[in-house]
Amino acid sequence: MALDSKVPHGPIQSKWTDYKNHINLVNPANKRHIDIIVVGTGLAGGSAAATLAELGYNVKAFAYQDSPRRAHSIAAQGGINAAKNYMGDGDSTYRLFYDTVKGGDYRSREANVYRLAEVSGNIIDQCVAQGVPFARDYGGLLDNRSFGGVLVSRTFYAKGQTGQQLLLGCYSAMNRQIARGKIEMFNRHEMLDVVKIDGKARGIIARNLITGEIERHSAHAVVIATGGYGNVYFLSTNAMGSNATAAWKIHKKGAYFANPCFTQIHPTCIPRSGDYQSKLTLMSESLRNDGRIWVPKKIEDAKAIQQRKLKPTEIAEEDRDYFLERRYPAFGNLVPRDVASRAAKERCDAGFGVNATGEAVYLDFASAIERYGKTQAKVQNISNPSKEKIYDLGQAIVEEKYGNLFQMYEKIVDENPYKTPMMIYPATHYTMGGIWVDYNLMTTVDGLYCIGEANFSDHGANRLGASALMQGLADGYFVLPYTIGDYLSNDIRTGKIPTNTPEFDEAEKEVKDRIDFFINNKGTKSVDYFHKKLGKVMWDKVGMARNEKGLKEAMAEIKQIREEFWKDVKVPGVANEMNPELEKAGRVADFLELGELFAKDALMREESCGGHFREESAETDGPQKGEAKRNDKDFAFVAAWEYKGEPADAVLHKEQLEFKDIELKQRSYK
């Protein structure tokens, strides 16, 4: 079946405006009679809930955290992109659109990405109006920095805590609507299934995580905004609670899952320190503006560092390999994340890693500190400043830009990153794949929408840094509130959706049966035992580099782990009270199915693109030797999988990607 993306006709520059001019609207008096459920209250869900309520709809918002302020969007550090050209360096809507499609290795839908670039400027205005304290330059204008994969500075930021500040802005907009009674907030509730009536999404089954009570909630439309599935790897930069359950449940009810193998490995994370670790910590990509990435040139130096016989500061400049600057001169340390991650892995695999496990490279700020110090000495009219003075002046500037990130690193690693280069290593971070949606952000189920990281729509095979916050807020503030009205205009006479129907009965029974199974199963192994096992298979065989043999093994091994899980999992406690192990069991059960579909998708895609690197598909000679080799003839499509029971039986549907405004060509950052 060819999927209908519902992309409007006409030139790309006017598609969105013309489309909005012609879609159906719901009059303000009728919005009062329409209910919308929003699951997830991060930047996408929070902004959508606030905007829909502001428009007059009745919104029910669900968060599994104790407050929307704890949504994982809070962890985004580096910034948010927008094409405002404040730096006068040639940025434009088209250039942001081009960089995003190219950065995603030409595997995203042009129309959605252009719309994203088009509304990006509005997001900044909205957030400034909400009081988000973006960094400003000396003249008081909003400041920008650069991120990987681009040649301009378009990233707006609030120190190293941009996600947190944007979330507080969005949370205040939500609170205004909660106070007015337009948003009914359900904290500590987890959605465990979607309810379909006559083929339309009409409600959800949720569990109150404090009392264990199972609840029915109805609405005229349901919006899923529950983030990505990076925790399928067990170790990732995601919060430990981040999960794929809501997305997986709607997949099982008919929403197609697109491109699950497109996940992002972030190059700048604090390396893992042992098997006992439960998550990894991200160091913002913004650090690559000023940090230079290197390993020793000589293998004997690397070995000495691994054995702690040598310090990085003792290695002479000429004995350092700044490998990103060497391999990608045009972009240097600011190549996109997938390129930087693979380059770091290649050096570490070759034996040049710099920590005890050999899985780390250096991120060094010495030259930035010196550069800023010399500039400051001139600004302050200090003639012949000493080395120490230059260092102090430079450190103050770096501290002003990245202080909280350096502090965080020092707390975790117990080393001063101003004096000793940071150690970093790639880690699972963001997922570009997700639920398939059309131009309206609607899934393959009527009335069921999916926004933010939970959908697949904007980043192709690799997300550029600082684009996640942009997509989440674009979907929530400026896209969904228009497109959902077109669908809901048919519901103005429907009236309240009752919850005492066979469809709700059936969905609730399924949820309760599964919970009863977990509580009553007399297994011997903890949920984490299975999650770690899954994570190891995913990282080893479906990680940064993949091959046919490994992927086939992964599918078989994951199926085996899943079968063992259902036989031997032990969940302590009871169902009708707070029970984090029970929550975890349901989420890991879903990861054990998603992981197999992920490997199946990676096996089907016999090309390398973005975050999906197939060892069989690399350039063998010429200037691009060793780089990813895309196959546009056979794979320029979105892979959307339909659920058929076992993950191995999922049916593939293709949405062919058209490139009318951007030329398909080899992605080069050299």
Distances (CA, A) of 101 to 469, 610, 612, 617: 17, 11, 16, 21
Note whether 613 and 342 are within 8 A (CB).
Answer: yes
Secondary structure of residue 195 in the 3-state scheme: strand
Distances (CA, A) of 247 to 27, 69, 451: 31, 21, 11
Residues ≥6 apart with Cβ < 8 Å to 411? none
Classify residue 40 as exposed, middle or buried by CB count within 10 Å of its CB (0-12, 13-18, 19+): buried
Note whether 208 and 515 are within 8 A (CB).
Answer: no
Catalytic residue, from 337, 463, 605, 630: name it.
337
Query: Count of CB atoms within 10 A of residue 505's CB?
Result: 13
**Token reading at 528:** 């984490």
Write the secondary structure of 603-651 as one string of H (helix), E (strand) and C (coil).
HHCCCCECCECECCCECCCCCCCCCECCCHHHHCEEEEEECCCCHHHCE
**Token reading at 402:** 């990245």
DSSP string spanning 112-158? HHHHHHHHHHHHHHHHHHTT----B-TTSSBP-B--TT-SS--EE-S
**Token reading at 26:** 């719901």
Amino acid 366 reads A
Q: For residues 206 and 208, give the distance between their C-alpha atoms in angstroms, rounded to a whole number.
A: 7
The reply to whether 70 belongs to the active site is: no
Residues ≥6 apart with Cβ < 8 Å to 235? 272, 277, 278, 279, 280, 427, 428, 535, 539
Q: For residues 430 and 230, give the distance between their C-alpha atoms in angstroms, rounded to a whole number.
A: 6
Q: For residues 47 and 173, give the distance between their C-alpha atoms in angstroms, rounded to a whole number.
A: 8
Note whether 272 and 383 are within 8 A (CB).
Answer: no
Amino acid 170 reads C
Q: For residues 443 and 449, give the distance between their C-alpha atoms in angstroms, rounded to a whole number.
A: 6
Q: What does the buried/exposed string (b/e) look like for 616-629 if buried means 16 or more CB atoms within 10 Å of the residue's CB? A: ebbeeeeeeeebbb
With DSSP H G I counted as helix, E B as strand and the rest as coil, what are the percentages for the chain, rounded to 5? 45, 15, 40
Q: Edge-to-edge strand order for the sheet containing 651-656?
A: 434-435, 257-258, 637-642, 651-656
Residues ≥6 apart with Cβ < 8 Å to 670? 327, 328, 329, 330, 623, 624
Query: Count of CB atoms within 10 A of residue 147's CB?
Result: 28
Q: What does the buried/exposed string (b/e) look like for 323-338 if buried means 16 or more CB atoms within 10 Å of the residue's CB? A: bbeebbeebbbbbbbb
Query: Count of CB atoms within 10 A of residue 523's CB?
Result: 17
**Active-site residue set:** 337
